[in-house]
Amino acid sequence: MSQKLEDILKEKGPIKKIGVIGMGYVGIPAAALFADSDRFDHVLGFQRNSPSSGYKIDMLNRGESPLKGEEPGLEELLQKVVEAGKFECTPDFSRIAELDAVTLAIQTPFADSKALEPDFGALKEGIRNAGRYLQPSMLVVLESTITPGTTDDMARKILEEESGLVAGEDFALAHAPERVMVGRLLRNIQEHDRIVGGIDEASTDRAVELYSPVLTKGNVIPMTATAAEVTKTAENTFRDLQIAAVNQLALYCESMGINVYDVRTGIDSLKGEGITRAMLWPGAGVGGHCLTKDTYHLERGVKLGNENLDYPENAESIYVLARRVNDFMPVHMYNLTQAALQRINKDIKDSKIAMLGWAFINDSDDARNPPSEPYRDMIVDAGAEILIHDPHVLQYPDVDILKGMEEVISGSDAVVIFTGHKEYFNLKPDVIKKMTGMKTTVIIDGRNVIEPDKFIEAGFIYKGIGRGDKNGHEIIK
């Protein structure tokens, strides 16, 4: 523990003025909740006045949220804190010098999903801005999802270079990963436990002081900065691993001619202290911006600066293997489509495919890294025609998303369900058959939304993820 930092913070007194850099879906609710706490006097939201997002400044200063989609309570809270004069948004980063603490909530996408290298460009610019105006006794907190080791290394170096100050002596530095999900931003910040990790004890304590007042149900869980980075990336890595485990089980059940959902129910029945199994759901793949990336953040973190990893020789990381299993599911959907069409002597390349569902998650318009995209690319590469329906997704680069189900299904040789939108749970065989106008149609269920027998008895060729009990069914004329 640095006595110098401890003394400086004591001299400074409690945190009163806070800055949040990055007015996005993480920074805006965080800033509003800090401003609403009577423990703090004033909050500045920092937003670059860039052509693409400068409009947010005036909106936020009118108490309006620039975030799309429903966020319960957010607009009211913004109105309240703006009218109370406790929150303002500014492009003037020099005002960081006025503050006691500044948090950075800037996205860290992967520049190239193939190379799996994160793009820290925007985050680095934010850190540089914080460093440029950093004063002794300030606290800097990174909230973005970052590769383990980033706070203690890259962020520390940039802040020290820009400020001439020393982290852990002149200023406090910590990581407090966001755990918010769109649609429940405020509630997640208030109710989830908050992981808070400093580069040293004084930094951790100062960050605990910052976050405790905004928690209603959640508790602060203190640890080191690197442990906090590993916690965030590993909690998503573990979810991806659990999904891969049930996806692999589904593939096994298909090959063994059994129903994975019977097996899932059986395993899930094992309940009780310490013996419960985390049985998630098999499906057409894993999308989004969390699970598709965070495994690679964790893997990079292990490799950077750790020479002494003891692991089975030449064995692949099970976490990376889990990513490969999940990324295989759209390929499996392609293989199921091909196998089903071949049962009626058709081949994908001359077929018309109707895809139901583009979004990566049910009943949402969120289409980041959707598993539907690799499937669609494979279908197009095979020379087939594909039309795509999604009731929520309005647009996607270079992809026409249609709203009329009949238009998409009309004349199609195969109907392929990729997302479990509620609209798809009540598809009727006779209605679909009429829409296709075909004597025999293939239907592929990637999300367990239809009842196989209803379609098989109506003369469809059915294939479903994990439905080894149905996938080889008799064809009913």
Say whether 116 sits in a helix, a strand or coil: coil
* Residue 468 interacting with ligand SAJ (CB under 6 A): no
Q: Does 291 bind ligand SAJ (CB under 6 A)?
A: yes
CA distance 87 to 147: 31
Span interacting with ligand SAJ, options 60-68, 168-176, 288-296, 453-461, rule CB under 6 A: 288-296
Number of chain residues interacting with ligand SAJ (CB under 6 A):
17
Choices 49-57, 75-83, 278-286, 303-311; region in contact with ligand SAJ by CB under 6 A: 278-286
**Helix H or strand E segment including 169:** none
CB-based contacts of 43: which residues, under 8 Å, 6+ apart? Answer: 17, 18, 19, 20, 31, 34, 35, 81, 86, 87, 88
446 binds ligand SAJ (CB under 6 A): no
> Which residues, in sequence order, are CB contacts of 74 under 8 Å at separation 6+?
28, 29, 32, 65, 67, 185, 186
Select 286 or 415, whichever has its Cβ closest to ligand SAJ: 286
| One residue of 110, 238, 252, 281 binding ligand SAJ per CB under 6 A | 281
**Least CB distance to ligand SAJ at residue 294 (A):** 7
Q: Is 267 in the site for ligand SAJ (CB under 6 A)?
A: no
Long-range CB pairs of 214-219 (<8 Å, 24+ gap) are: 214/30, 214/33, 214/34, 214/37, 214/189, 214/190, 215/190, 215/191, 216/190, 216/191, 217/190, 217/191, 218/190, 218/191, 218/192, 218/193, 218/194, 219/193, 219/194
CB of residue 22 to ligand SAJ, shortest distance in Å: 16
Q: Which of 198, 181, 244 is nearest to 371 (CA)?
A: 244
> x/- string (CB under 6 A) for ligand SAJ, residues 150-189?
-----------------------------xxx--------
Q: Which residues are catalytic?
A: 232, 290
Strand residues in 403-451 grouped as ranges (E): 414-417, 442-445
Give the tokens for residue 58. 């005036």
Whichever of 2 and 108 has its CB closer to ligand SAJ, that residue is 108
Closest CB 150 distance from ligand SAJ, rounded Å: 17
Q: Is 417 in the site for ligand SAJ (CB under 6 A)?
A: no
283 binds ligand SAJ (CB under 6 A): yes
Window 228-247: residues binding ligand SAJ (CB under 6 A): 235-236, 239, 243
**214 contributes a contact to ligand SAJ by CB under 6 A:** no
373-412 residues in contact with ligand SAJ (CB under 6 A) are none
Please give the Cα distance from 355 to 370 (Å, whole number).
13
Q: Assess 421 for contact with ligand SAJ (CB under 6 A).
A: no
Taking CB under 6 A as the binding criterion, the range among 121-129, 218-226, 280-288, 305-313 that sits at the site for ligand SAJ is: 280-288
Give the contact letters, 355-374, x = binds to ligand SAJ (CB under 6 A), - = no: -----xx-------------
414, 417, 423, 425 alpha-carbon torsion, rounded to 10°: 100
Q: What Rg, from alpha-carbon coordinates, does the chain have? A: 26
How far apart CA 279 and CA 258 sit, in angstroms, is 17
Residues in touch with ligand SAJ (CB under 6 A): 179-181, 235-236, 239, 243, 280-281, 283, 286-288, 290-291, 360-361
